[in-house]
Amino acid sequence: MFKIHSILCPVDFSDASRKAVQYAREFATNMGSSVYLLNVVEPRPMAVDITFNYVPLEEDLEQAARSDLEVVLQELLGAGLKAECSVEIGNPSDVILEKSGELDVNLVIMGSHGKKGLSRFIMGSVAETVVRKANCPVLIVKAEEKEFIGE
């Protein structure tokens, strides 16, 4: 029998990733799994203020993401689930793949923005990269898809 012991759920606070958290919560509740929430802050060029001091933008984004992710974590903990979270800086697909291996998860549940055409070509697809390279099953959740879980 296939047992899901831990789920990695990358969160970027989009509608699709919020829906992915709902799926992760449902899977974890029904299978007795733990959930690991992950937010990845992409490195940005250093911002320059008028005094020419360099202020890393990642630190501000990381702090805001930690605060927002903590709210999601508390919801899962409040539902009686075993859950943890972290915010990492790096390339999203690389960090997600590294974390899934490091944590030895056996399911990744993540949202997809469903970008097409030039936008997808320029920005790439984090979800597509994770699906291709992950060593475990990956469930992709779209914001506009027909749901199969109830509220």
The answer to the question of residue 79 being in a domain is: yes
The answer to the question of residue 65 being in a domain is: yes
Residue 106: which residues within 8 A CB-CB, separation 6 or more?
A: 3, 4, 5, 6, 136, 137
**67-97 residue pLDDT tens:** 999 999 999 999 999 999 999 999 999 999 9
| Domain CATH number, residue 18 | 3.40.50.620
Q: What percent of the chain has pLDDT over 90?
A: 68
What is this structure's pTM?
0.85
Q: Which domain holds residue 83?
A: 6-142
Q: Report the pLDDT averaged over residues 19-39.
A: 96
Q: Does the pLDDT value for residue 118 go beyond 80?
A: no
Count structural domains, the chain: 1
What integer pLDDT is reported at residue 82 of this predicted model? Answer: 98
The answer to the question of residue 149 being in a domain is: no
